[in-house]
Amino acid sequence: MVQFVDLQKKFGKLEVLKGISEEIMEGECVAVLGPNGSGKSTLIKTLLGLVLPDKGDILIEGKSILKQHLYRNEIGYLPQIAQFPENMKVKELIRMITLMREKPSNENDLIDYFGVSSFLDNTLRSLSGGTKQKINAILALMFDCKIYVYDEPTVGLDPISRVLFKNYVQQQKKDKKTILLTTHLINEVEELADRILFILDGKIYYNRSVKELISEHNETSLENAMVKMLENHSKNKAHV
């Protein structure tokens, strides 16, 4: 479904992506993880068309998306922080996005699902951070897309809304949607991701399933396995 082919990107003298090649299949949820500055955010931004790679290509269903824009209609994107005019009412924002996408939407079902109908006449500046994130989730989920990109999607959500969101993603997987997830919440990776794409220093350092990572490091939790993986990386790097 999505193929990254030898992606390379520099910002000035800083080499951020160093030839990343990977394929993400239909119906697969891949957690793109890595420390700050590893290159994961740049990788995601190349898929969204927010950053152009210096070399390489990105294919969706076998077709290059570089310097294209229509493919974005098939991507639902939930950013960590979405910026919209604070004086807009919630219903105005939702209406604006539906008109921009020109694609059938199911915002009414999602408004009920996340329980935000009482906030539709409120301005964005009057909302709590958690309610804003619910609205952002609705904007990302209300179109039937082939690909979904979630960047720290549950930050600020209350426990019930987190469960609702994760349940929705589980259904998307059953519906064969392709999902890229970035998160610092390890339990979300364990619950949602089929595979971990761990990026270090602009390269893919680890690319296996959650169960394989835990098993390979003889641990009982993903969190401990990731700590051990990074400790091993530091030791190996020190001996080079």
Angle between helices 129-141 and 90-101 (to 10 degrees): 20
Predicted confidence (pLDDT) at residue 54 exceeds the cutoff of 60? yes
Mean pLDDT of all residues in the chain?
Answer: 91
What confidence tier does 236 reach under pLDDT thresholds 50, 70, 90?
confident
**pLDDT tens digits, one per residue of 177-202:** 999 999 988 889 999 999 999 999 99
Q: How many CB atoms lie within 10 A of CB 10?
A: 14
- Buried b / exposed e over 124-141, threshold 16 CB at 10 Å, is beebeeebbbbbbbbbbb
Q: Which two tokens stand for residue 34?
A: 């890595």
In which element (H, E) is residue 204 found? strand 203-208
DSSP string covering 10-48: EETTEEEEEEEEEEE-TT-EEEEE--TTSSHHHHHHHHH
- Tokens 């469960």 locate to 163
Interval 58-63 mean pLDDT: 94
Bridge partners, residue 8, by sequence: 18, 55
pLDDT at 220: 87
Mean pLDDT of 142-156: 93
Backbone phi, psi, residue 7, to 5°: -70, 130
Distance CA 54, CA 153 (A): 29
pLDDT of 240 over the 70 cut:
no
Question: What is the per-residue pLDDT across 71-80, written as a single tens digit (0 to 9) for each?
Answer: 998 999 998 8
Report the pLDDT averaged over residues 5-18: 94
